[in-house]
Every structure is written in C-alpha cells, then in structure tokens.
C-alpha cells in the first residue's frame, strides 16, 4: 500500500498541532532553555496551524462527497440556487 508524501506531512502536522501546546507547557515547567527559544515556539505554531487547517479542510472536503454523506447517514446537500438557475436556463 502506497502512501503519498502529502498525506504523511499532513498527518505529522496534525500530530504537532495536537501536541505542541502540551509539549511547550511541559518544557516551561521543567525550565530548559529550549522552551524559551522563539524559533521553536514559532515553528511549532506554524506547523500546528497548518496541521489544523489540513484536518479541517479534509473534513470539509469529505462532507461534500455524496457517497461519504450517505455512508454516515447524512442527507444529500441541497443544490445551490446558482446551479438550479443555470440548469433551468439551459432547458429553455
């Protein structure tokens, strides 16, 4: 089974997003110099934000898939007014 590099990076970013704050809090209590490193803190923040964004984007993209919605017991998405207008205009 092949896994794309993009998928691996997104999973690592999501893991960092979940563990960055507890990690920095633990470092702060133990008081090593690494906890005061602004580069480490900003790097973890950036990776964490990207991880959360990728998780939210993937979840949003999944909810648009009709097969995913049906398999999770959700009703189909209503058609937008713009697509209804275009389809009725094409019929005339």
Give the chain's domain count.
1
Give residue 22's pLDDT.
76
Q: Is the pLDDT reported for residue 90 higher than 70?
A: no
Report how far Cα 63 is from the mean position of its chain's Cα atoms: 13
First to last CA, the chain: 50
For residue 51, give its domain range: 5-91
At which residue do the structure tokens 């993009």 appear? 6
Question: Under 8 Å CB-to-CB from 34, ≥6 apart: which residues?
Answer: 27, 40
Q: Is the pLDDT reported for residue 76 higher than 70?
A: yes
CB 24 within 8 A of CB 35: yes
Give residue 48's pLDDT.
75
Rounded mean pLDDT of the chain? 74
CA distance to 23, 38, 41, 44, per residue, from 30 (Å): 11, 17, 16, 18
Give residue 6's pLDDT.
76
Q: Is the pLDDT reported for residue 64 higher than 80?
A: yes
Each residue's pLDDT tens digit, 26-56: 776 766 665 567 787 787 778 777 777 887 8
Residue 79: half-sphere exposure toward Cβ, Cα within 13 Å: 8
């Amino acid at each position: 089974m092949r896994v794309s590099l993009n998928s691996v990076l997104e999973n690592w970013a999501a893991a960092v997003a979940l563990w960055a704050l507890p990690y920095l809090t633990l470092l702060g209590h133990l008081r090593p110099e690494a906890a005061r490193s602004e580069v480490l803190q900003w790097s973890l923040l950036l990776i964490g934000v990207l991880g959360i964004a990728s998780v939210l984007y993937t979840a949003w993209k999944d909810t648009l898939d009709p097969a995913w919605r049906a398999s999770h017991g959700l009703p189909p998405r209503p058609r937008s007014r713009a697509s209804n207008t275009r389809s009725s205009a094409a019929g005339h």
